[in-house]
Amino acid sequence: MPVTDWGTVKVPTSLLNIIDELAKKEGVPRHIIVSKAITLYRKLEQNKGGTKYLKGKKHSRGMWYAWKLMLSYAEMRIATKYRKCFPPTVLEKMFKQWYDTVMQIKERTKAITKEECDNVIKLTKDYIKTRKNTTLYQLNDIVRDIFYRVLGRT
């Protein structure tokens, strides 16, 4: 049986109290709690993102699709609002990206139904055509609701 060398670590009393509480709750010595914390820390710091600037920043699928939804919605809204400043192809491209994102959310996260998806696309087309605030308010409410549902997905 190998002999374990022991050392000491100076920690604030508040942290020591937390370690003691967890150790008592689990029925293990203090060093097991510290070991678990270090193991978890190392696991979180692993390069899961695939690139150096995403190191340790792996997000849930829901977070990714919610972010994607809001970005494509914002781009479509800006292209609609400033359509006179852009070539017509920009608005078409932004609408296509918005449409594709809504379809991906419907198919991949199952956060919206087919009827909701059709309603979002219909309202979007109406808003692009008329630019009425009443249509925009309805669209904003639906997109916000979808955003929160997608965020809750894993």
* Class of 13-51 in CATH: mainly alpha
Full-prediction pTM beyond 0.75?
no
Instruction: Answer whether residue 8 shows pLDDT above 70.
Output: yes
45 pLDDT tier (thresholds 50, 70, 90): low
Contact 92, 132 (CB under 8 A): no
Contact 138, 120 (CB under 8 A): no
The predicted structure's pLDDT at residue 60: 72
**In this predicted model, what pLDDT tens digit does every residue of 59-93 receive, in sequence order?**
677 888 899 999 999 999 999 999 999 888 999 99
The predicted structure's pLDDT at residue 152: 80
| Domain regions of the chain by residue span | 13-51, 61-151
CA distance 100 to 68: 11
Q: Give percent of the chain with pLDDT exceeding 70.
A: 88
**In this predicted model, what pLDDT tens digit does every residue of 99-137 receive, in sequence order?**
999 999 999 989 899 999 999 999 999 999 999 999 999
CA distance 83 to 127: 13
Q: Residue 148 carries which DSSP code?
A: H
